[in-house]
Amino acid sequence: MTAQTPTNVPERYVKALDDAEPLEVLRKMPKRLRRLLREAKSKELDWKADPATWSVREIVGHLADNEFVFGARVRFVAAEERPLLPAYDEKRFVAGLGLDRSSVEDLFDAWVAARAANLEMLRRLPESAWTRIGVHAERGELSLAQIVIGAAGHDRVHEEQVERTLARARAARRELKQRAKAEARSRKEERPAKQKSAKRAGQAGAAREVANGRKVEARSKETTASAKAAPPARTTTA
């Protein structure tokens, strides 16, 4: 593949590629992503920071979708004269193609299979094919080489997104664990205090009962003493 100025390639893809050889990035990315997925727990694959962001499952599904689009684009450019290359709404693809009914492993395998087929096709193209032009609906003219550069940069962008999402998912899990431990400690610390409070309340109640009993006993004694001291009632005869 000949080096070309990545005109009309999104800047973030060019920056993410960082002068790496595009075909080499495309070859190595499946192994790099496989390592990240193997290290992830199942719950982390579906974790989302908020509804507007993608989970790792959705990122992998997007990579599979994009690989088929990428393969179609390079085939059109290699075989036809200045073909029109339609854009597509990646968010609608992720939302509408049933990713939640497929395992991450199956989505990954679909991406890897499509990637292998695309790399094999690119391998057999003549050198002249890399300068052929297609017209992208949003980006304008793109050579086949520039499409490949964009695909490699796209890989890097989403690899970083997977790493970032997994790191945030793990941080959120640690935070939940720490919060649960803190709540457990708090409940443990509150238990003796509640027990002491209940004990004091019980002691206070018992003391009140004793005091009340003494008052009743004292009043009873006073009543008895008054009855004894009173003169007997006089009786009259008719």
Per-residue pLDDT tens digits for 75-126: 999 999 999 999 999 999 999 999 999 999 999 999 999 999 999 999 999 9
Check residue 230 and give its pLDDT. Answer: 56
What are the Cα distances from residue 212, in Å, to 207, 224, 226?
Answer: 8, 18, 21
DSSP 127: G
pLDDT above 70 covers a percentage of the chain that reads: 84
Comparing CA positions, the residue from 36, 65, 60, 33 lying closest to residue 46 is 60
Listed in sequence order, the residues at least 6 apart from 44 whose beta carbon sits closer than 8 Å to its beta carbon are 56, 166, 169, 170, 173
DSSP 178: H
Listed in sequence order, the residues at least 6 apart from 39 whose beta carbon sits closer than 8 Å to its beta carbon are 166
- Domain boundaries of the chain, sorted by first residue: 11-182
Q: Scan for tokens 């290290």, then name that residue.
A: 39
Comparing CA positions, the residue from 163, 168, 158, 167 lying closest to residue 49 is 168
- Confidence (pTM): 0.76
CATH topology of domain 11-182: Four Helix Bundle (Hemerythrin (Met), subunit A) (1.20.120)
